[in-house]
């Protein structure tokens, strides 16, 4: 692992396979860590420089300073500057997808080669006009209930979340995820609730039309977190998007169907090579 100091002097940790190849930055989800991408980065490192960041409060990066999606996007921008990356591709899964949206809000997309969004909605809260948020029903009342439950029964919430992100028919994978998740030490528990509540306030629907770079959308057909047609909605509103469904996946296509995910990502990246290559 390597690290750099963000502008608020907080260390940000990341892994980097190095080299002069096209760069892909992998951004994990809530309660996950950069290390969860190791299987994907190992498969792709022959062709790409693979970088996996530990977001604040996750992996080795301490949960210090501002714990918001806005701050995570600034850390991502400063990582790109620190490594002097030119035209990287960003792969954002779950909370990493929101971080990617926020990066586009703050810094635009002109410095990016492309974007990959993995099973994430542009707006977490639901209403009578928007039903494609978290769980398909995530109102301010649900947010308050979640906060109270999280404060009193955090371990139970985390176990249910970990088991629920996997396709409901993948019994062994669900059990393994449930069994190991509370003990993986992937996160600072004090950072989880502030980040979860900040995510709930984000709405990037007005941003989509301006995200004019190639975008790959990878969505689990059996996602418990985002049931419905989130992928189709984004495909309709993003100017240069490609939608791929992962039929055997819930919320975690890279880890439930890793071979298909690697193949899909490789093909997407290969399509962006100059025609003379």
Predicted confidence (pLDDT) per residue in 112-140, tens digit = 999 999 999 999 999 889 999 988 888 88
- Mean predicted confidence (pLDDT) in 136-164: 74
| Closest C-alpha among 259, 244, 250 to residue 221 | 250
Domain regions of the chain by residue span: 2-270
Higher pLDDT residue, 97 or 167? Answer: 97
Phi, psi of 222 (to 5 degrees): -115, 35
Question: In three state form, how does the secondary structure of 198-239 look?
Answer: HHHCCECHHHHHHCCCCEEEEEECCCCCCCCCHHHHHHHHCC
Question: What is the model's pLDDT at position 250?
Answer: 87
Q: pLDDT: is 230 or 137 the higher one? A: 230
User: For position 207, what pLDDT does the model report?
Assistant: 98
| Across 67-76, average pLDDT | 98
User: Residue 7's CB: how many other CB atoms inside 10 A?
Assistant: 9
The model's pLDDT over 2-18, given as tens digits with 9 standing for 90+, comes to 999 999 999 999 999 99
Residue 157, classed as helix, strand or coil, is: helix
Predicted confidence (pLDDT) at residue 265 exceeds the cutoff of 90: yes
Instruction: Give the pLDDT score at 266.
Output: 97
Residue 182 has pLDDT above 50, yes or no: no
Q: Higher confidence at residue 106 or residue 177?
A: 106
Lowest-confidence segment of 51-55, 192-196, 240-244 by average pLDDT:
192-196
pLDDT, position 62: 94
- Which of the four pLDDT bands, split at 50, 70 and 90, describes residue 276? very low
Burial of 136 (0-12, 13-18, 19+ CB in 10 A): middle
**CATH architecture, domain 2-270:** 3-Layer(aba) Sandwich (3.40)
Examine the pLDDT at 90 and tell me if it is beyond 80.
yes
pLDDT tier, 179 (very low <50, low <70, confident <90, very high otherwise): very low
Residue found under tokens 């190849």:
21
Q: What is the mean pLDDT of residues 155-169?
A: 63
Better pLDDT: 153 or 200: 200
pLDDT band for position 274 (cuts 50, 70, 90):
low
Q: What Rg value do the Cα atoms of the chain yield, rounded?
A: 17
């Amino acid at each position: 692992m390597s690290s750099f100091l963000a502008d608020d002097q907080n260390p940000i940790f990341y892994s980097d396979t190095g080299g002069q190849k096209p760069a892909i930055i992998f951004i994990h989800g809530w309660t996950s860590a950069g290390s969860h991408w190791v299987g994907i980065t190992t498969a792709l490192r022959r062709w790409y420089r693979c970088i996996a960041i530990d977001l604040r409060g996750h992996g080795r990066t301490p949960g210090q300073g501002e714990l918001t999606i806005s701050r995570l996007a600034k850390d991502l921008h400063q990582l790109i500057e620190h490594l002097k990356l030119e035209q990287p591709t960003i792969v954002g899964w779950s909370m990493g997808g929101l971080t990617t949206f926020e990066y586009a809000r703050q810094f635009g997309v002109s410095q990016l080669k492309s974007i990959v969004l993995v099973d994430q909605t542009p707006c977490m809260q639901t209403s009578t006009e928007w039903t494609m948020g978290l769980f398909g029903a995530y109102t301010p009342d649900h947010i308050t209930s979640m906060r109270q439950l999280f404060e009193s029964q955090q371990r139970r919430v985390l176990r249910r979340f970990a088991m629920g992100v996997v396709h409901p028919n993948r019994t062994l994978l669900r059990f393994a995820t449930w069994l190991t998740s509370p003990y993986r030490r992937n996160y600072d528990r004090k950072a989880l609730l502030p980040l979860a509540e900040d995510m709930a306030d984000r709405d990037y629907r007005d941003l989509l039309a301006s995200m004019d770079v190639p975008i790959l959308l990878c969505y689990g057909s059996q996602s418990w977190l985002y049931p419905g047609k989130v992928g189709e909605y984004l495909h309709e509103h993003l100017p240069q998007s490609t939608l791929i469904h992962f039929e055997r996946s819930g919320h975690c296509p890279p880890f439930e169907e890793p071979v298909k995910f690697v193949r899909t990502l490789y093909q997407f990246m290969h399509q962006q090579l100059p025609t003379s290559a």
